[in-house]
Structure 1
Amino acid sequence: MTAACEIPTVRLVDTSFARLLAMVFGSGLSMYLLTSVVPLYLAASSADRHGAGGIGAGLSTAAMMFSAVAVELLVPRMLARWGYRVVLGLGLVLLGAPALVLLATASLPIVLAVCAVRGAGLAILVVGAVALVADLTPAARRGEALGVYGVAVGVPAVIGLPLGVYLTHVVGFAALFVLAAVSSLAGLVALVGLPAKVGAEEQHVRVLGGVRRNGLLMPSLVFAAVTVAAGISVTFLPLAVAVGKQSMVATALLLQAIAAPLARWVAGRYADRVGPAKLLGPALMFAAAGAAALVLLPSAVAVLIGSTCFGIGFGAAQNLTLTLMYNRVDRSRYGQVSALWNLAYDGGWGLGALIFGAVVAGIGYPTAFALTAAVVALAVVPAVRASVA
């Protein structure tokens, strides 16, 4: 029997791992509460005065994600120099505190600046947290550990994405901005007891170094294709549906947010047994089918089923690509893998939102969603090849 099939019965969630999960829950809630709300905030407050409209909504997501991409290149070096606690604490402050600035203004340049600073905090947190998961857990149960981490990240999406859209009509934008700030800053308490230093003394801090040689390029590009669709659906689905149907949008986002972490956990459990490459192709097929269903807007059935299918594919692809990448490197490259995977995540998310926002006015939402599905479908080919290699 291979080592991949022998799953030790050691305790997976110890005290340190539990503290990490609590921290990522709070920071994830801070992110997801505002993911769909900031585009709505700009559309409601800035469009009439500044002509922001869909372009402004796309820019808000792009500003956060491209800022994250830039900072993610630096995080492995930061971790090697200052350790987990200092770096993660900085990330919590940068993600949470700037949300309070939105209480004072809806000016497009300032909102974009806030999004950029929050993106820097997000970059620090996701790269640091994922690297710490790999450091804290046994290699033979890494897929499951990443699945548990995915649930801790995904539950805030379950709560935050639909709740943020719904509460804009109940308590208003200001209360949401305060809640997002508090959710992130409260995570500072959980840092006590986490490891101060990285697990390996010699860390590979060049994020793009040896990517092709170590087999990291394919899973990075495949995952980026899926995150392009994720950024588009979360940013533009609330804008693509009539105002009177926002409850349907909230339900669709809820279903997607529930499906993703569950699929991420299940995929991790099976990836430890059969290998992540064999499951990646089917995961992408689910994601492509879900994205394609949005072509049938404004059909409620299509939106709800499509969002669920996309959530399944997106969640599974998150775990499978990351597990595949960690399995191909040694411990010194854990920080590099985390940074590279998150570059694919945030870069795809931001690029998708930016391009979609720029072209949707000319071609309409159905055609734009069809092109999105095609991008995901193209990624199925290298994923299937990897499973039979």
Structure 2
Amino acid sequence: MNPPVALRPERLVTPQFARLLIATFGSGLSMYLLTSVVPLYLAANGAGGIGAGLSTGTMMFAAVAVELVVPAMLRRFGYRATLALGLVLLGAPSIALVFSASMPLVLAVCVVRGAGLAIMVVGAVALVAEITPAARRGEALGVYGVVVGLPAALGLPLGVYLTGVVGFGTLFVLAAVCSLAGLAALSTMPGRPAVADEEHHVQVLGGLRGSGLVMPSLVFAAVTVAAGISVTFLPLASGNHALVAVALLIQSVTAPAARWVAGRLGDRVGPAKLLPPALVLAAIGAASLVFVGTPAAVLAGAVCFGIGFGAAQNLTLAIMYDRSPRSRYGQVSALWNLAYDAGWGAGAILFGFVVAGVGYPTAFGLTAAVLALAIVPAATQSLRSRTQRTA
């Protein structure tokens, strides 16, 4: 009797997936080059911490608003056209910042770029789930997370560093080019999502009761509150641009690595089991910024937060996909990105007002407390999942 032949796993990185990753990389680099630079640009022109927070918050809440309609856009116009629009909206408006630092113009640019960001993140994540094997979804999301994280690893520290080397204007043009160059990679993307007709009218926020999607969305939003605060205000709180560049580099390198590792482990042991320790690490990293004047604390916190943030990105998204049918992948992608951008934007705006009253150390401590609260529902859900498996 012949031994059974082991089935070869389905290929993960196909040419189509690779082209999607190229476009995603370009859009991500466009975003992250300016994430910490625009707040610095406003602060350098007299806007202060409140202006810095408004720039980040405006972009993210614009993204939240548009994310509600991206699934409908994907169904109506298909992936190619929708993602192309996203790349244009994210990149082209950056050039306008070369000509003026006025608050109305900067905020208007942030609104348009936020719309482009929304289209890219929702469309790309939904497409990853659609064009990769279901059995390797966690790993596929991990690969996607690494590629998304690379622009953060390059753009966040490089943007801050280059402000003193080439100036703001050159950075704004570079950000536009990075996004628009991704248009060349979209030619082979599929058309409309393969969803059942009866699911075409599912709303992003519809049918959430009993879906199991609310908990991971809210938990992830708490993590992104801390993420938005760190990249927006660490350059202002520290004042040491070299230290900030290194800290942002560390955070940006560890996050995609943790996202990939969490994806591989999550496929084996279940993502819900890994989420609580990821949140603990993220909370420790956020709390370290209470000692923002101590370089060792800032760097150690960047390591912890980067690992926790990256792992939480993969684990929450994997949990949500596992709990949803294929026909709702667009809804899951939009909901997860809503949590990402709403948390990021709300954190930046509120922190700007809080820090004006209590100072940076206390405000960073309050941020860590918010993140620590998210550990409770995640741990409860993890325990419930283990109990159900053993019952």
| Structure-2-length-normalised TM-score | 0.95
- What is aligned with 1:307? 302
Give the drift of 1:126.
Answer: 0.2
Q: Are positions 1:373 and 2:333 aligned together?
A: no
Aligned to 1:236, which of 233, 236, 252? Answer: 233
Aligned residues: 377
How far residue 212 of structure 1 moved from its aligned partner, in angstroms, is 2.7
* Deviation for aligned residue 1:201: 3.9
* Aligned partner letter, 1:284: L
Q: Does 1:265 align with 2:260?
A: yes
Q: For 1:230 and 1:74, how far apart are their aligned partners in 2?
A: 25
Aligned to 1:35: 35
Q: CA deviation at 1:246?
A: 0.9
Question: Match for 1:355: what amino acid?
Answer: L
The amino acid of 1:212's aligned partner reads: R
TM-superposed deviation, 1:7:
10
Identity of aligned residues (%): 72
* SS of the residue 2:16 aligns to: helix
Q: Deviations over 1:46-65 (max 9, x none)?
A: x1xxxx21000000000100
Distance in 2 between residues matched to 1:57 and 1:246, nearest whole Å: 16
Structure 1 residue 298: deviation in Å?
A: 0.6
- Partners of 1:286 and 1:139 lie apart in 2 by 29
Report the Cα distance in structure 2 between the residues aligned to 1:201 and 1:34, rounded to whole angstroms: 39
* Residue equivalent to 2:23: 23
Report what 1:200 is aligned to.
195
Deviation at 1:199, TM superposition (A): 2.1
Question: Matches of residues 9-88 of structure 1 in structure 2 within 5 Å?
Answer: 9-45=9-45, 47=46, 52-88=47-83
Name 2:91's counterpart in structure 1: 96
Superposition CA RMSD, Å: 1.1
- Residues 105-124 of structure 1 aligned to structure 2 (within 5 Å): 105-124=100-119
Task: Determine the structure 1 residue equivalent to 2:224.
Answer: 227
One of 328, 335, 340 as aligned partner of 1:340? 335
Partner of 1:173: 168
The separation in 2 between residues aligned to 1:218 and 1:258, in whole angstroms, is 27
Q: Could you tell me which residue of structure 1 aligns to residue 3 of structure 2?
A: none
Which residue, out of 275, 279, 292, partners 2:274? 279
Q: Does 1:128 align with 2:123?
A: yes
1:168 Cα deviation from its structure 2 partner: 0.1
3-state secondary structure, aligned to 2:101: coil
SS in 2 for 1:150: helix
Name the residue aligned to 2:211: 214
- The separation in 1 between residues aligned to 2:7 and 2:117, in whole angstroms, is 32
Give CA-to-partner distance per residue, 1:317-359, whole Å, 9 cap, x none: 0000000000001011000000000000000000000000011
For residue 135 of structure 2, the aligned residue among 140, 154, 177 is: 140
- Look up the equivalent residue of 2:36 and give its one-letter code: S
CA distance in 2, matches of 1:358, 1:211: 32
Q: Deviations over 1:277-310 (max 9, x none)?
A: 0000000000000000110121000000001100
Which AA in structure 2 matches 1:26? G
Alignment deviations for residues 169-190 of structure 1 (CA, whole Å, 9 cap, x no partner): 0000001000000000000000
1:197 CA drift (Å): 1.8
Deviation at 1:204, TM superposition (A): 5.0
Tell whether the 8 Å contact from 1:76 to 1:335 is kept in structure 2 after alignment: yes
Q: CA deviation at 1:361?
A: 1.3
- Displacement of 1:388 in angstroms is 1.0
Amino acid at match of 2:328: R
Task: Answer yes or no: is the 8 Å Cα contact 1:95–1:122 preserved in 2.
Answer: yes
- Equivalents in 2 of 1:20, 1:137: separation in Å? 12
Q: Which amino acid aligns with 2:226?
A: A
Q: Give me the whole-angstrom Cα distance separating, in 1, the residues matched to 2:346 and 2:282.
A: 18
C-alpha contact 1:260 1:315 (8 A) present in aligned 2 = yes
5 Å-filtered alignment, 1:348-367, equals: 348-367=343-362
- In structure 2, what is the Cα distance between the partners aligned to 1:132 and 1:61? 26
Structure 1 letter corresponding to 2:208: V
1:135 Cα deviation after fit: 0.1
